[in-house]
Every structure is written in C-alpha cells, then in structure tokens.
A and B are shown apart, each in its own frame.
Chain A
C-alpha cells in the first residue's frame, strides 16, 4: 500500500513534519516494497488554502493513508472526501512512523486536531 508521511527532509531518517499543509516534503512510501519518493511541497509559502492544496497533492499520488503531526479542518475535509485515511500526533523519524503504521500502533484521526493556520508560524 502507498502511504504519505509529512517530512522535514527527503530521506527516511528525516523527522515527521508536525505541519500537514505546510510540510517541507511528503515522503510517499510503499509498505510492501519499501521503496519511497520525496515530493517537495510547493504549498509551504501559500498565502492561504495550504491544507487543501497539500491534500490534493497527497490524493493525486494515490496514497491511501497519510501520517502527520497535525491536520487542520480544511485538510481533513478534503482527505475525508477522497477517502484517504489520516493518522495524527506522530513524532520521530519517517522510518519510525512507517514501522508504527505497519505494526498497527497508530490511531486514525476522525476530526481535525488543530485549527486553521496552525502551521503558519511554526
């Protein structure tokens, strides 16, 4: 399965980015083959709607799951509409996050855990 993880860098030992909409990168990983790609997120500097545009990036990769520190309401609504499952409150490295997901230790988010614009200043 393809999963997306917010990341501060381009590799698996980068940290999970707490921000979803304004994450520096998305790591798109295949849980079976363990192959991965890094996508630079052009929405970091968006004046608005970063969560929605980033959700669209994730949806278009075909990922079925996305892992981040936090999701805002607009991102959550967009991901839900596309049936992409979101997992929140994750810290540590991207590799650790993938392992936690594979071992079923992450809990799925059903509602946004931060307000709009949460990631603007961090």
Chain B
C-alpha cells in the first residue's frame, strides 16, 4: 500500500465491528513489514487497547482554551456575547459577564472583539492522549474526560499524531455527527463496516450519505455474514458500492472478542480475510 495512506474504519451503527476490523487490519499490515499506525478516534469509548494491548510510553493531558474574563477591565459592551455562536459567553449589564465553558468551541472570537482586552484564555482539561507500541503497530488513543463534550477537539489531537511514511488505520466513532466528520476529514479511504440486519442497513445508508457528502472514496465490509438478510448486499449492488470484505457470523469470533483477543491470533484461518481486505483497499487507493 501507498505510504502515508490514511484509512478510516467507520460505520453508521455502533457495534458492527469497527474496532475488530481496524485492530486486526493494523496487525496484518504490521506482519507485512509495513510501517503502520492504529489511531483510536472513538474517544468517548476507546477500546482498541483491549485487543492490541499496547505498551503506553507517553501519556499527556489534552487541554483547550476557554475565556477567562477580568471584570475589572470589562466595559460591559456585550461584543463578546454577540460574536459567540454557542451562547458560551454572555454580558449582562453592569460589568457582569458569565461564561459557560462546556459550550465554548475555543474559536477565540470573544478575545479578539473585546475592546478593553478584558478576556484572556485559560486552559480546560478535556481528556488524555496515549501513545505507545503494540508489537510493531504504532498505537495512539484519545480518551475524553467524563462530562466533557469537546469530542472533535480531542479527535483532532489524536489525528495530529499521524506520522509520515506510515499507513494510518483510524478507528472512528459510530454515527454520522461532528465527531465522525472530524475523524473522516482528509482520510484517503473510508471503510464502512456494517451487518446484514435492518439496523445495519439503515445506518449504513446514513454513513454512505455522509461519505458521499464529504466526497471521500469508500467501500463496505459486512460483518456477521450469514445472519439477517440480503438487503445490505442488494443495496450495495444497486448503489454500485464495492463490498471489500465479508466476515462470517462465527460464534468463535464473538468468543475471541469477548476475551479481548485478536481474531487473527486465535483463529488464524481468518488471516486471509484481513490480508484480502488490505489488498482490496490498496487496489481501491490506486484507482
């Protein structure tokens, strides 16, 4: 595969197997002696570390800037509140300014428009960033602090760790909202993992709409093949969407998952599925 390729593993529905696919894919790429990174961008509930069992050698707190108002300097003009699109700062007469840190998006607008230079920034913890090694896989994971809603800011920080000359496998959060958009931005390829159920299909359609809107090349992987119905395959056929992997509905895979084990370690017969996936994505990237 091309070095510097950024592959995002996403899905509309949760629990379809993003982490299973991402971790095992990173593992087989490392076995091909390619430089590979696994980045867990599912920062609200990261779980890649359970399977990859990395040794973390660097852990840092991630902070964002929020406004800190000096009421002595405030002239009560209200410009800070007018520019804020999120209601995170509001000036209520007689030099009283309230801030709502959890609503702030750290744009810095209030600080710039303040004519009396009364607003400085202070740092707010939003989570942690862990970097390490899992075998030959370079491992990065973000973990959002409980109560924080600044998911995209932490995801951005995780993605800043993408290294040159590495293939980056990004484990995305589920859904189609801001955290997913932040994760998929600038990806070279998106793999949408789904399952052959009505729920899987419904949420796949949403994810397809999102990747098309973002103009990103993508393909589909179907997990738990053999259960449910054929509607996902019919949909992909009608929409001319390539299915690049089918993983069987095998109880042993679920058992390996429940034990926090890598499929390709416990069930080596599946290794060829992941090598096939790797080759299919490589081919798609060349198109």
Q: How far is the CA of A68 from the CA of B267 in the complex (A)?
A: 61
> Taking A48-B87, A50-B87, A81-B98 as contacts, is the C-beta distance between A56 and B103 under 8 angstroms?
no
Smallest distance from the beta carbon of B184 to chain A beta carbons, Å?
A: 20
> Taking A56-B81, A77-B98, A78-B98 as contacts, is the C-beta distance between A49 and B87 under 8 angstroms?
yes
Smallest distance from the beta carbon of A21 to chain B beta carbons, Å?
A: 9
Q: Mark A39-64, 1 if CB is under 8 A from B, else 0.
A: 00000001111111101100100000
- B residues within 8 A CB of A1? none
Which of A50, A52, A78, A81: most chain B Cβ within 10 A?
A: A52
Smallest distance from the beta carbon of B167 to chain A beta carbons, Å?
A: 36
Question: Is B92 a contact partner of A78 (Cβ separation < 8 A)?
Answer: yes
> Taking A48-B103, A49-B103, A56-B81 as contacts, is the C-beta distance between A74 and B96 under 8 angstroms?
no
Q: Is B86 an interface residue (CB 8 A)?
A: yes
Smallest distance from the beta carbon of A75 to chain B beta carbons, Å?
A: 10
When C-beta atoms are compared, the residue in chain B nearest to A49 turns out to be: B87
Among the listed B84, B85, B90, which residue makes an inter-chain contact with A78, where contact means beta carbons less than 8 Å apart?
B90
Question: Is A74 a contact partner of B100 (Cβ separation < 8 A)?
Answer: yes
Question: Is B86 a contact partner of A47 (Cβ separation < 8 A)?
Answer: yes
Q: Is A114 an interface residue (CB 8 A)?
A: no
The dominant DSSP class at the B interface is loop
- A residues within 8 A CB of B81? 56
- A residues within 8 A CB of B90? 52-53, 55-56, 78
Considering only residues 67-89 of chain A, those with a C-beta below 8 Å from chain B are 74, 77-78, 81-82
Report how many A-B pairs have Cβ atoms within 8 Å: 41
Q: How far is the CA of A81 from the CA of B98 in the complex (A)?
A: 8
- A residues within 8 A CB of B92? 56, 59, 78, 81-82
- A residues within 8 A CB of B93? 59, 82
- B residues within 8 A CB of A53? 87, 90
- A residues within 8 A CB of B98? 52, 77-78, 81
Q: Is B88 an interface residue (CB 8 A)?
A: yes
Considering only residues 17-66 of chain B, those with a C-beta below 8 Å from chain A are none
Smallest distance from the beta carbon of A4 to chain B beta carbons, Å?
A: 15
When C-beta atoms are compared, the residue in chain B nearest to A54 turns out to be: B87
- B residues within 8 A CB of A74? 87, 100, 103
Q: How far is the CA of A54 from the CA of B144 in the complex (A)?
A: 30
Considering only residues 68-101 of chain B, those with a C-beta below 8 Å from chain A are 81, 84-88, 90, 92-93, 96, 98, 100
When C-beta atoms are compared, the residue in chain A nearest to B88 turns out to be: A49
Smallest distance from the beta carbon of B98 to chain A beta carbons, Å?
A: 6
- A residues within 8 A CB of B88? 49, 52
Smallest distance from the beta carbon of B152 to chain A beta carbons, Å?
A: 13
Question: Is B86 a contact partner of A49 (Cβ separation < 8 A)?
Answer: yes
Q: Mark B97-116, 1 if CB is under 8 A from A, else 0.
A: 01010010000000000000
Q: How far is the CA of A74 from the CA of B92 in the complex (A)?
A: 14
Among the listed A46, A52, A59, A82, which residue makes an inter-chain contact with B100, where contact means beta carbons less than 8 Å apart?
A52
When C-beta atoms are compared, the residue in chain B nearest to A56 turns out to be: B90
Q: How far is the CA of A29 from the CA of B90 in the complex (A)?
A: 24
Additional 15 contacts, C-beta under 8 A, given A50-B87, A52-B100, A77-B98: A46-B87, A47-B86, A49-B100, A51-B87, A53-B87, A55-B90, A56-B81, A59-B92, A74-B87, A78-B90, A78-B98, A81-B92, A81-B98, A82-B92, A82-B93
What are 6 A-B residue pairs whose CB atoms fall within 8 Å in the complex? A49-B86, A49-B103, A52-B87, A56-B90, A56-B92, A82-B92
Q: Which chain A residues have a beta carbon within 8 Å of chain B's beta carbons?
A: 46-53, 55-56, 59, 74, 77-78, 81-82
